[in-house]
Structure 1
């Protein structure tokens, strides 16, 4: 398994849509009926503290699995994001599995 960082920015003036879709998005992050594990997730904030995007760290077999997972996310299905970047991530500092022992 590998890690991937997802950085997604919302279209402007879509906070109402984000709030409407938020519970279904959050529920999906916690479900395990797919072949990926979301290790870290949370909203990106602007200077005023308003939600403007999402940051996820996902454990998956490959980038394709992450793309497939995201394609079914309520925020993606709702057209919330204007930009989504997926990058392989070499998790060094703070990895939970590494801190046990």
Structure 2
């Protein structure tokens, strides 16, 4: 079996007046999806990027999928994508370091 394909997603929200409202409108769906990814072993880490005042302005996620098609299917249905929350997104392939214990 091939190793999963790992990605780093850095996604910045829009900066318009409606940005926070869009995020909050789909946040529960996003978090439920993140929980499913974690249960499947596909979400390795993630969280909100905060500004200096502690407001959510973006997201970072480390994910692993069986293949590019599986990643794309998830990404295209991600509520922060379909809900127009993430406006500036960078997706990079990566290999996550897992130290031995």
TM range (shorter): 0.7 to 0.9
**Structure 1 residue ranges without an equivalent (≥5):** none
Matching of residue 4 in structure 1 with residue 7 in structure 2? yes
Matching of residue 23 in structure 1 with residue 28 in structure 2? yes
Name the count of aligned residue pairs: 94
Paired with 1:3 and 1:39, the residues of 2 have a C-alpha distance of 9
Q: Normalising by structure 2, what TM-score?
A: 0.81
Paired with 2:5 and 2:27, the residues of 1 have a C-alpha distance of 27
Q: Normalising by structure 1, what TM-score?
A: 0.81
**Structure 2 residue ranges without an equivalent (≥5):** none
C-alpha offsets along residues 67-88 of structure 1, whole Å, 9 cap, x if unaligned?
A: 2211101111111111111101
- Runs of 4+ aligned structure 1 residues displaced above 4 Å come to none
Q: Please show how residues 76-91 of structure 1 align to structure 2 within 5 Å.
A: 76-91=81-96
Could you tell me which residue of structure 2 aligns to residue 55 of structure 1? 60
Structure 2 contact 22–84 (Cα < 8 Å) conserved: no
Structure 1 contact 6–55 (Cα < 8 Å) conserved: yes
